[in-house]
Chain A
Amino acid sequence: MIGFIDLFSFVFILTALLIFLLNRKEKSNPAFFRITGAFFLLLAFHYLSNTLEWLGISAVLDPYEDYIELFEPAFIFFLFYIFLSEKSARALQESEEKYRLIVENQHTLVVKVDPEGRFLYVSPSYCDLFGKKEEELLGEKFVPLIHDEDREPTLREMEKLKIPPYSCYIEQRALTKYGWKWLGWADRAVLNDSGEIKEIIGVARDITDRKISDMELRSLKNQFEQVLSLTKTGFDLIDEDLNMIYADPNWVDKLGDPSGKKCYEYFFSRDSACENCDIPEVLKNGETAVSEEYIGSENRNVEVHTVLLKEKVNGKRVVAEFNVDITERKRSESVMEETIRELKKLRIAELNLIEDMKYEVEEKKKAHKKIQMLNETLENKVKYRTHELELSNKELESFAYSVSHDLRAPLRHILGFADVLKKLCSEKDDEFNSYLKKITDSTVEMGNLIDDLLDYSRTGRREMNMSLVSMRELTGQLIKRFTHEFRGRNIEWRVEQLPDVVCDENLMKTVWINLIDNAIKYSSKKDKSVIEIRFEDKGNEYEFCVKDNGAGFDMNFAHKLFGVFQRLHSKSEFEGTGIGLANVRRIIERHGGKIRAQGVPDESASFFFTIPKLDRKESDEGIV
């Protein structure tokens, strides 16, 4: 039985050994593999010896079995030892790999130099930055090109390595293979037992990005402060304990450095917080507070906007205060309020004015109504008067007709009976005949007077028929007629080229006949009559003139010339009824013109009359 068990033991261990050998790909730990294999072999040898003993075969291996058994625990010891040593080695290797991984892949520059500046250690990042190889640098001196501005501060800072705590921090610009870079060096001196510098360890980082950010940040800060200054806006930062964190340059200029001061100390020189301080409320609610303050020393009004910032500073909440100068706004508001008050006053005045105007308008309306009523009344009166005038004219016409008819009838009877008396009386009775002749002449004269009066009357009443009349042609015809009529007389005509005028042709003909007839009549006592007919353009009107070299007249009696039955010469000197010039004046006035006379006794007489320049349209509208 035991023999079988030993046989199984041998088979088992042999199987284990075979499996182990067949899968000997384990290369990561060859010692472990070998020791395990040897241990299995030892066990196999042990169990084989037992099996052979059971089979009764001479114990070939027996003499060695006891020793082999001793080695079994020793091999297990060895196996453990190998495992532990392998583990330590692997841990060390892993640690080295980690360290290498860190050193070779970090951007931090690490160097170690001796007091003379020779490199004892240099990190790959340093070699890479300056484009050097490690073997080129180790044991050698190398000083990269430092920016001119940074050399003096660098040397000054490195002096600190000679005194406790034997460390310094330098920020400098160095020329690398990537160009100028900002490097921040933290150097530390390592001392030997006698207190002398043994070596210097320097650790640096590329701070170019930070420096650029700093510069941009500084530039932004400057711009921000400039904007605040331009807009007269004060700015400050205060933490939750009312400590001043920042004050803009204007505040710093006026009140000094704010660091280490409470806001109420800094701004108001107080010992405790202000009673109306907005900051606690803003910190509590997180909402922006706005308040107004008057700075008496500067005679300014400011509006303070207190805002809670999201970012904390040194673990404390911070508020920002914007002090907006609202002095101008306040003044403007004051002016505006004053203006509004003035406007209100003006508005009231305007309303009063409107009321007055309304009253005036009402009054005007009333007046207008009154005027309308008066106009209507006047119109009615005019109509009434016109009607009366028409009736009067009709009566006058009737009267004139009656006069002409009724007065002519007795005149005809007188003339008839005078003619009968003439026939009945002896032709030799001169005295009687003389009386009869006087009766006859007076009757004829009476008849002429009646005719002239009727003409004068008709001239004033007859309707005017305006048309464009050629004065040249009109006077030409009349001159021909008078020349023929007075062909025994020596008459010199001086006639200008007269213009065309708008007038009633028949009435104008009457004017010319009267004036030319007078000129011929009153120059009849001269050997040679000189009659001038001329005109003058006076802009809005024509002035016509008829001048003769006859009897003339005294200008003192000129106003009597145009009166009815007015005569400046006796009938014995010159015949006439005294109605002609009165008739002429009436016609000229009906045309809208004027007439005047100028005379020198026994020399000349001139009659001037004007006719306005009218066109057909005006004449048709009956302006005249």
Chain B
Amino acid sequence: MIQENEIITLILYAALIVFYVFNVRKLNLFPEKKIFMFSVLILFFSVVFTVAEGYFWENELNFLEHLFKALSALLLVFWTLSLISKRRKAE
């Protein structure tokens, strides 16, 4: 079953990705942007899987959705640690 909020979330993430692509130069100095954007991208895919599970492979895609969310969370841990270590180095 497809929920409306999931569709909206997907649209929002897609818009976010487009925004990033268009402002990639300006966001060049975003701290540890590769880790962060990788995490966001995985989160986006998890949302994609959420929407897709309403149409096919419900269990598999649901699993992937949660797995990707976990991966995304793990990357955010790394991002945080990376930020801190970089700041300490700078200090």
Q: Which residues of A contact B (CB under 8 A)?
A: 1-2, 5-6, 8-10, 12-13, 15-16, 19-20, 23, 25-26, 40, 43, 47, 50, 66-67, 69-70, 72-74, 76-77, 80, 83-84, 87
Contact of A69 among B5, B67, B72 (CB under 8 A): B5
Q: Beta-carbon contacts of B62-76 to A below 8 Å, as 1s and 0s?
A: 110011011011101
* Interfacial chain A residues near B73, Cβ < 8 Å: 8-10, 12-13, 16, 43, 47
| A73 surroundings in chain B (CB, below 8 A) | 9, 12-13, 15-16
- Secondary structure at chain B's binding surface: helix, strand, loop or mixed? helix
CB distance from A365 to the nearest CB of B (A): 118
Q: Do A83 and B27 form a contact, CB below 8 Å, given A12-B77, A16-B79, A20-B80?
A: yes
**A16–B27 contact, CB under 8 A?**
no
Closest partner residue, chain B, to A2 (CB atom): B66
Please name all residues of chain A whose beta carbon is closer than 8 Å to the beta carbon of B87 when the two chains form the complex.
Answer: 23, 25-26
Chain A positions within 8 Å of B13 at CB level:
73
Say how far B44's CB is from chain A's closest CB, in angstroms.
8
12 A-B residue pairings within 8 Å (CB atoms) = A2-B66, A8-B73, A12-B74, A13-B76, A19-B80, A23-B84, A25-B87, A50-B66, A67-B5, A69-B6, A69-B47, A73-B15
Residues of B within 8 A of A50 (CB): 66, 69
Which residues of B13-54 have CB atoms within 8 Å of chain A's CB atoms?
13, 15-16, 19-20, 23, 26-27, 29-30, 40, 43, 47
Q: Enumerate chain B residues within 8 angstroms of A66, measured Cβ to Cβ.
A: 3, 5-6
Contact pick for B26, options A15, A72, A84, CB 8 Å: A84
B12 to chain A, nearest CB (A): 4
Contact A43 B76 (CB under 8 A): yes
A76, B37: Cα distance in complex, Å: 10
Q: Is the CB of B16 within 8 A of A15?
A: no
Contact B70 A80 (CB under 8 A): no
Residues of B contacting A6 with CB < 8 Å? 66, 69-70
Question: Does B1 have its Cβ within 8 Å of any Cβ on chain A?
Answer: no
Which of B5, B26, B62, B69 is in CB contact (< 8 Å) with A9?
B69
- Let me know if A5 and B30 touch, CB within 8 A: no
Nearest CB on B from A20, distance (A): 5
Q: How many angstroms from the CA of A7 to the CA of B69 in the assembled complex?
A: 11
Supply 17 further A-B pairs (C-beta < 8 A) apart from A9-B69, A72-B43: A8-B74, A10-B73, A13-B76, A15-B77, A16-B76, A16-B77, A19-B81, A19-B84, A20-B80, A23-B84, A25-B87, A47-B69, A66-B5, A70-B12, A73-B13, A77-B12, A77-B19
Q: Are B27 and A80 interface neighbours, CB within 8 A?
A: yes
Q: How far is the CA of A211 from the CA of B81 in the complex (A)?
A: 63
Contacts of A19 in B (CB 8 A): 77, 80-81, 84
Q: Is the CB of B5 within 8 A of A70?
A: yes
User: What chain A residues lie within 8 Å of B40 (beta carbons)?
Assistant: 76
A residues less than 8 Å from B29 (CB atoms): 87
Q: Given the known A-B contacts A72-B43, A76-B16, are A1 and B63 also in contact in the complex, defined by CB atoms under 8 Å?
A: yes
Please name all residues of chain A whose beta carbon is closer than 8 Å to the beta carbon of B9 when the two chains form the complex: 69-70, 72-73
Q: State A42–B72 Cα separation when bound (angstroms).
A: 14
Interface size on B, as a range, is: 35 or more
How far apart are B47's CB and chain A's nearest CB, in angstroms?
Answer: 8
Shortest beta-carbon distance from B6 to chain A in Å: 8
Smallest beta-carbon distance A83→chain B, Å: 6
| A77 adjacent to B3 (CB under 8 Å) | no
Q: Is the CB of B5 within 8 A of A80?
A: no
Q: Is the CB of B66 within 8 A of A5?
A: yes
Question: Contacts A15-B77, A84-B23 given: A5-B70 contact, CB under 8 Å?
Answer: yes
Complex contacts, A83 vs chain B, CB 8 Å? 27, 30
- Distance in angstroms from B32 CB to nearest chain A CB is 12
How many angstroms from the CA of A10 to the CA of B66 in the assembled complex?
11
A6 to B68: give the CA distance in the assembly, Å. Answer: 10
- B62 with A70: CB separation less than 8 A: no
List A contacts of B79 (CB < 8 A): 16
Distance in angstroms from A491 CB to nearest chain B CB is: 163
CA distance A66 to B84 in the complex (A): 32
**Does the CB pair B15–A80 fall under 8 Å?**
no
B67 to A, closest residue via Cβ:
A5
Beyond A16-B73, A19-B81, A20-B80, whether A80 also contacts B66 by CB under 8 A is: no
Interchain CA distance A76-B9 in the complex, whole Å: 12
B8 touches A77 (CB 8 A): no
Interface contact B69-A2, CB-CB below 8 Å: no
**A contact residues around B70 at 8 Å (CB):** 5-6, 8-9, 12
Q: How far is the CA of A66 from the CA of B4 in the complex (A)?
A: 9
Complex formed: what's the CA distance from A16 to B71 in Å?
A: 13
A63 to chain B, nearest CB (A): 12
Nearest Cβ on chain A to B88's Cβ, whole angstroms? 9
Give complex CA distance A2, B46 in Å.
Answer: 13
- From A1, A2, A8, A12, contact of B76 by CB (8 A): A12
Nearest-neighbor residue (CB-CB) of B16 within chain A: A73
Closest to A39 in B: B76
For residue B42, give the distance in angstroms from its CB to the closest CB of chain A: 11
CA–CA, A70 and B50, complex, Å: 13
**Chain A residues in 8 Å Cβ range of B80:** 16, 19-20
On whether the beta carbons of A74 and B12 are closer than 8 Å, the reply is yes
Taking a contact as CB atoms under 8 Å apart, the answer to whether A80 and B20 are in contact is yes
CB distance from A30 to the nearest CB of B (A): 14
- Complex Cα distance, B88 from A23, in Å, reads 10
> Complex: how many Å from CA A560 to CA B26?
166
Most buried by B among A8, A70, A73: A73
Write the chain A residue with the least CB distance to B29. Answer: A87
